[in-house]
A and B are shown apart, each in its own frame.
Chain A
Amino acid sequence: MSAPSGDHAAALAALASELGADAVREAGPGDLVDGVAPFAVVRPADAEQARRAVAIAVRGGIALVASGLGRHLSIGAPPRHLGLLLRMDRVDRVVEHHAADMTVTVEAGCTLAALDERLRRAGQWLPLDPPAPAETTVGGLVAANLAGPLRASQGGVRDLLLGIETVSGEGVVVRGGGRVVKNVAGYDLPRLHVGALGSLGVVLAATFKTVPVPPGEGAVEVEVASPREACDLALALRDAFEPAWLELVAEAGGPATRVVFGCAGLPPEVACGLLRARTETEARGHRAVEVEDATALRARLAEFPLREAAAILRVSTLPDRTGLALESLARAARDCGVRAPLSAQVASGIARAAIADAVAVAPVLRALRARREDPDAAVVVERASAEVKPRLVGDADPWGDPGESLALVRGVKRALDPGGILSPGRLPGGV
C-alpha cells in the first residue's frame, strides 16, 4: 500500500487530534472492502466521535465505508473510492429499553447477540434472526437490510424500525421517526436507510419495536422430490396454519428438497400448528418428522448466507415461484458444473444458492439472467468474495438492472450525501 498522500496525512492528523491516537490507525491488508484498500481505519469511541470522524472526511473529500465488525461487508458493489473504514463497533450502547413501551433504542455498533441478551431480561426480543448475531451489528442490520427465517411472520427491518439517527454526507446529525410505535410525523427517513448500505448516512443509533419472546417453538420437516413440489407443499402448510418460519433446503444435483415448517407461540398454539402441518403433509402422501430443537434448527438455517462459498446468489420473486427459482438456480449451477447448496424462504419469495467456485459465479449469474424464466424476479449477487467481485461487471453486475427508480435514488443520494463520500458506488446503478 502506498504511503498516505498529503490529504490523507492531514486527515489522519485531524482524526488523531480530535478522536485520540488510539481511535485511528493506518489500514492493513485485513481492512480491504471488496478488495479496495482504505488508507486508515477509524474506531470512534462514541457517537459524537463518529460524527466528528465523518465531518473530517467531509472536509477532506475522503470517501468512507462504515462497518460494524465487518461480517457483512461483502454485500453490494465494490466502493468506487475508499479512504476511511469507519468501524462503529465501539459505539455500542443499548441507550434505553423501555420494556413497558416495547421499544429499544440502541447504538449502531451493538451486536444483535448483545442486544438480544439485554432484551431477554425483560422477556422480549427483536424478532429478526440474520446470520451470525454475535458478529452482526445494528448498523449493519439496517444498512444491509438483513433478515432470517422469522421474516416470514415478523416482517423485515422496515417493519420494526421506528426511528434513526444518522450522520449525513455533510457531517450533520439527521434524525427521523421517533421512539413511539406509531408515528407519521414528517417523511419516513428511517426506511430510506434500510438497505442503503450506509450510502445515505452513517447510522449512529436506531429505535425498534420489540415483542414478547414466544414461550414455545416447534417445527416439522418433510422431504419431497423436487423444489417445485416443496414450494406447493409449503404454501399448503402456510394456508393450514400461519407459520413463524417456512424454509426450503436443497442441493443442486440432488433433486430432493426439504420443507421446514416452524411455528411459535403458546404451547397449545404450537401443538396445533404442528398437528395441522402433519395432517396436511400426510394428506399429500408425505411424511412429516418432528424436529427436536426447532430454535437451534432455525438458527442453523439462518446461517445459509454466510456459508463457505465464493458467492451467494439471490432470486427475489413471488412466494409461489420460489420453487421455480430454486430450480433455475440449480440448473444454472449444474450447467456451469458447480456445486450449489440451495435455500429458500417461501413466504417472502427469496431463493438463494451458495456458489462454491469463484470462476463459476459470473457465468451462473449470466445464465440465470439470460434465461429470464420469471420476468418479475430480481437476480442479484447478495455476497461475493473479493476474488469474485472484479469479475462482476457488465451483464454480471451484482445488482443487475437498477430499474426505473434509479433517477430518484440518485437524487436522494445527492440530497443526503452531496459530495458522494458515503459508500460511493455500492448501490444498484453505481450510486
Chain B
Amino acid sequence: MATGILARRLRALVGDDGVVDADDVLLVYECDGYTLERAAPELVVLPRTPAETAAVVRLLAEERVAFVPRGAGTGLSGGTLPLAAPVMVCTSRLREIESIDLRNRRLVAQAGVVNSWVTRAVQGDRLLYAPDPSSQTACTIGGNVAENSGGPHTLKYGVTVNHVLGVELVLPSGEVVRLGGAVEDRPGPDLVGFVVGSEGTLGITTRATLRLVRAPEAVRTLLAIFDSVDAASEAVSDVIASGIVPAALEMMDRLVLQAVEQAFSAGFPADAGAVLLVELDGPAAGLEEQAEAVSAVCRRNGSREIRVARDEAERALLWKARKRAFGAVGRLAPNYCTQDGVVPRSRLPEIVRAIAATAERHRLRIGNLLHAGDGNIHPVILFDERDADEVRRVIEAGHEILAACVALGGSLSGEHGIGVEKIGQMPLLFSPDDLLAMTRLKAVFDPEGRANPHKVVPDAKVCVEARAPRRQAAM
C-alpha cells in the first residue's frame, strides 16, 4: 500500500495528530540515543491507548508492513533505528498509570509511562519502583521492558525483569496476549521473563504489571576518593568480598570527574584518579556499622578521603552528578558515544586498563563510568562526527572494548541491549546453535519477521539492500 493511503487509514485509527509523515518532523525519529547511524521511518504512528495500538498493529498485519516500536528514544544501541521497517509505532502517548495496589505492592502502567512517574506515584506511601536508569526522567516503561534496563541501584534490587510480573503484548499479528500478571508463579515456562529484554522484536508492549518495593528506611551515601582506578577497583572487589551488598556501588574516572566538576561543582577534587560512590540502605539498625566497614575497606585500598553525605541535599548532589555524568562528559566534545559491557566484577582493573590501551591505540578520549558493583562498564567515547576517520575509530574502539569484555568472561551488554550496534558481535558470545534457537524463538512470536527486523539476533539472510536506507553519521 502506498504510504499516503496507509497514513490516511492510520489517521482514522489514532486521530490526525497521531501520524507523522512530514519529512522535517520525521527527522526527529531518525535515531535514538545511539547517534552513529541514522535513518528516518516513512511514517510514525502514535496511538493513544493499548486498544489503539492493537488496532494499528492489526492494520499493519493486514498490509504486511514491518514496524519498529519506540518509547522515548533514549535507547543507546540503536534499537529504534528503522531497518526495512517503514512504520514506527511510538507508545509514548500511552501515559496512564492504570492501577495501584499498595497492599500487594503492584502497579499497572501503560507502556508510555515515564520510569520516574512510577516511583513518584507511590513514594508518599513509602514504596518505590526499583529499576532506576539514569535516563529515568525521560525513558518509558515500554522501553525499560524492551531493554531490561538497569540502573545504579540494581546491584541490590535487581534489573527490570526482577520487577515485572506481567506484560500485555500486541503480537505482530495484532493479537493481544497477557502474559503473567499480578499473581506470581503461574504454571508453565516464564514467558514474561523471555519477553523482557527482547528489544521490541516480539511485538509491542502496551501494559506492564510492576512490582513495587519498600523504600529504604535509612540511607548512607559515601564518596571515596582514590588516586587511581586500579585502587578503586580493588576496593570494589573487597567491598563485595566483605559480605556487604551495597544498594549502589558506582565508579567515575578522572575524565568523567573533571567533566562533572565543570558542570555541577559537586566538589570532586580535580586531581583524583577515581571516585567510588557507595550507597548503603536498609533498616537504620546496622547501617552505621556497614558504612564503617565500607570506609575501612576503602582506606585499606588507599582511599585518600572519604566523604559522607550529611543530609538529603548532599546526597542529592552526589547522585545528580552521577546521573547526569553522561551529559557532562558530552560537553567536552561535539559528540560522544556511550558503550555498555560487562565483566566479572573481579576483572574490573583489567578491563579498565584494556580501555585505556584502546583509547591510546585509536587516539581517542575515553572516560569511564562504571556500575562497578555489577561489573557493568560504560566507557564514554568522545569524538567529532564531522571527522569521518574519527567516527570509524570510535566504532572500532567500541568493538574492541566489547571483545575484551567477552574475552574476560563477560558480556556484550549489561543494560543497553544489542540493537543494531552490537548485532555483528553476537557470534563472539553465542554459537550458531544458540543463535539458531533464538531465531526460531523469535519466529514463534513473529513468523513474518515484521517486528523490529534485523535487531538482536544476526540473521544470515540480512542483505545489504535491507540495511541500505540508513546512513552512517556524517559519512
Minimum CB–CB distance from B307 to chain A (whole Å) comes to 24
Contact B189 A412 (CB under 8 A): yes
Q: Complex Cα distance A272/B182, Å? A: 31
Task: Identify the 8 closest CB pairs spanning chains A and B, nearest first.
Answer: A191-B193, A411-B444, A212-B243, A272-B285, A415-B440, A100-B346, A101-B344, A182-B414
Contact B429 A103 (CB under 8 A): no
Contact of A427 among B189, B371, B433 (CB under 8 A): B189
Q: Which of B48-56, B86-94, B194-202, B389-397 forms contacts with chain A?
A: B194-202
Known pairs A174-B437, A184-B413, A271-B285; A380 contacts B187 (CB<8 A):
yes
Which residue on chain A has the smallest CB distance to residue B185? Answer: A316
Contact A182 B437 (CB under 8 A): no
Q: Complex Cα distance A31/B267, Å? A: 69
Known pairs A182-B415, A183-B342; A409 contacts B191 (CB<8 A):
yes
Contact of B245 among A212, A376, A427 (CB under 8 A): A212
Interface core residue of A319, A349, A402 (most chain B CB under 10 Å): A319
Contact of B193 among A158, A350, A412 (CB under 8 A): A158
Chain B positions within 8 Å of A183 at CB level: 342, 411, 413-414
Q: Complex Cα distance A194/B375, Å? A: 25
Contact A402 B162 (CB under 8 A): no
Q: Complex Cα distance A267/B409, Å? A: 36
Q: Which of B13-21, B62-70, B146-154, B314-322 forms contacts with chain A?
A: B146-154
Report 11 cross-chain contacts, Cβ distance below 8 Å, ordered by A residue.
Answer: A174-B433, A180-B409, A181-B342, A181-B375, A185-B412, A185-B429, A193-B189, A195-B189, A195-B190, A213-B243, A408-B179
Tell me whether B442 is interfacial, beta carbon within 8 Å: yes
Tell me whether A2 is interfacial, beta carbon within 8 Å: no
Q: Complex Cα distance A180/B409, Å? A: 8
Per-position binary interface string of chain B over residues 413-447, scored 1 when its CB falls under 8 Å from any chain A CB and 0 otherwise: 11111100010001001110111011011111100
Q: Complex Cα distance A193/B441, Å? A: 13
Tell me whether A269 is interfacial, beta carbon within 8 Å: yes
Chain A positions within 8 Å of B286 at CB level: 265-269, 272
Known pairs A99-B241, A100-B241, A186-B429; A179 contacts B409 (CB<8 A):
yes
Tell me whether A318 is interfacial, beta carbon within 8 Å: yes
Chain A positions within 8 Å of B237 at CB level: 100
Contact of B182 among A189, A318, A403 (CB under 8 A): A318
Tell me whether A176 is interfacial, beta carbon within 8 Å: yes
Chain B positions within 8 Å of A181 at CB level: 342, 345, 374-375
Q: Complex Cα distance A235/B103, Å? A: 8
Chain B positions within 8 Å of A191 at CB level: 161, 190, 193-194
Tell me whether B12 is interfacial, beta carbon within 8 Å: no
Q: Complex Cα distance A415/B440, Å? A: 6
Which residue on chain B has the smallest CB distance to residue A201? Answer: B437
Known pairs A100-B237, A180-B375, A188-B161; A123 contacts B104 (CB<8 A):
no
Chain A positions within 8 Å of B342 at CB level: 178, 180-183
Q: Complex Cα distance A268/B218, Å? A: 14
Minimum CB–CB distance from B137 to chain A (whole Å) comes to 22
Per-position binary interface string of chain B over residues 138-149, scored 1 when its CB falls under 8 Å from any chain A CB and 0 otherwise: 000000000110
Chain B positions within 8 Å of A271 at CB level: 285
Contact A187 B344 (CB under 8 A): no
Tell me whether B8 is interfacial, beta carbon within 8 Å: no
Known pairs A100-B241, A415-B437; A178 contacts B411 (CB<8 A):
yes
Per-position binary interface string of chain B over residues 336-350, scored 1 when its CB falls under 8 Å from any chain A CB and 0 otherwise: 000000111110000
Tell me whether A405 is interfacial, beta carbon within 8 Å: yes
Tell me whether A320 is interfacial, beta carbon within 8 Å: yes
Residues on A facing B (Cβ under 8 Å): 98-103, 123, 145, 155-156, 158-159, 168, 172-176, 178-189, 191-196, 199-200, 211-213, 215, 235, 239, 241-242, 265-269, 271-273, 316-320, 348-350, 376-378, 380, 399-400, 402-405, 408-409, 411-412, 414-416, 427-429, 431
Tell me whether B7 is interfacial, beta carbon within 8 Å: no
Tell me whether B332 is interfacial, beta carbon within 8 Å: no
Tell me whether B24 is interfacial, beta carbon within 8 Å: no
Contact of A350 among B185, B415, B440, B441 (CB under 8 A): B185
Minimum CB–CB distance from B343 to chain A (whole Å) comes to 7
Per-position binary interface string of chain B over residues 195-226, scored 1 when its CB falls under 8 Å from any chain A CB and 0 otherwise: 01110000000000000001000000000000
Per-position binary interface string of chain B over residues 160-192, scored 1 when its CB falls under 8 Å from any chain A CB and 0 otherwise: 011000000000000001110111111111110
Contact B183 A178 (CB under 8 A): no
Q: Complex Cα distance A318/B191, Å? A: 20
Minimum CB–CB distance from A163 to chain B (whole Å) comes to 10
Contact of B194 among A187, A317, A404 (CB under 8 A): A187
Contact B374 A186 (CB under 8 A): no
Chain B positions within 8 Å of A320 at CB level: 103-104
Chain A positions within 8 Å of B433 at CB level: 168, 172-174
Q: Complex Cα distance A200/B185, Å? A: 18
Which residue on chain B has the smallest CB distance to residue A276? Answer: B283
Chain B positions within 8 Å of A187 at CB level: 194, 197-198, 438, 441-442, 456-457
Chain B positions within 8 Å of A267 at CB level: 286
Q: Complex Cα distance A318/B181, Å? A: 10
Question: Which interface class (under 10, 10 to 19, 20 to 34, 35 or more) fits B?
Answer: 35 or more
Which residue on chain A has the smallest CB distance to residue B213? Answer: A242
Tell me whether B41 is interfacial, beta carbon within 8 Å: no
Chain A positions within 8 Å of B198 at CB level: 187-188
Contact of A317 among B183, B193, B441 (CB under 8 A): B183
Contact of A318 among B104, B189, B422 (CB under 8 A): B104
Known pairs A158-B193, A186-B426, A196-B188; A376 contacts B181 (CB<8 A):
yes
Interface core residue of B158, B178, B244 (most chain A CB under 10 Å): B158
Known pairs A186-B426, A273-B283, A405-B191; A100 contacts B345 (CB<8 A):
yes
Contact B375 A182 (CB under 8 A): yes
Chain A positions within 8 Å of B371 at CB level: 182
Q: Complex Cα distance A27/B197, Å? A: 43
Contact B434 A175 (CB under 8 A): yes
Contact of B187 among A241, A266, A378, A412 (CB under 8 A): A378
Contact of B438 among A189, A213, A316, A380 (CB under 8 A): A189
Interface core residue of A158, A192, A199, A408 (most chain B CB under 10 Å): A408
Q: Complex Cα distance A264/B186, Å? A: 28
Tell me whether B136 is interfacial, beta carbon within 8 Å: no
Q: Complex Cα distance A408/B171, Å? A: 10
Which residue on chain B has the smallest CB distance to residue A380? Answer: B187
Chain B positions within 8 Å of A416 at CB level: 437, 440-441
Which residue on chain A has the smallest CB distance to residue B441? Answer: A415
Chain B positions within 8 Å of A168 at CB level: 433, 437
Contact A195 B197 (CB under 8 A): no
Which residue on chain A has the smallest CB distance to residue B433? Answer: A172
Tell me whether B302 is interfacial, beta carbon within 8 Å: no
Q: Complex Cα distance A178/B384, Å? A: 35
Contact A158 B190 (CB under 8 A): yes
Which residue on chain A has the smallest CB distance to residue B443? Answer: A415
Contact B414 A376 (CB under 8 A): no
Tell me whether B71 is interfacial, beta carbon within 8 Å: no
Contact B430 A175 (CB under 8 A): yes
**13 new A-B contacts at CB < 8 Å, known A100-B344, A266-B286:** A101-B345, A155-B162, A173-B433, A174-B433, A182-B374, A182-B375, A189-B437, A265-B283, A269-B285, A271-B285, A349-B183, A378-B185, A411-B445
Contact of B183 among A241, A273, A376 (CB under 8 A): A376
Contact B184 A348 (CB under 8 A): yes
Minimum CB–CB distance from A219 to chain B (whole Å) comes to 16
Minimum CB–CB distance from B5 to chain A (whole Å) comes to 32
Contact of A178 among B147, B148, B410 (CB under 8 A): B410
Known pairs A180-B343, A187-B438, A272-B283; A102 contacts B187 (CB<8 A):
no
Known pairs A100-B240, A158-B190; A211 contacts B438 (CB<8 A):
no
Tell me whether B282 is interfacial, beta carbon within 8 Å: yes
Minimum CB–CB distance from B291 to chain A (whole Å) comes to 12
Chain A positions within 8 Å of B434 at CB level: 174-176, 186, 189
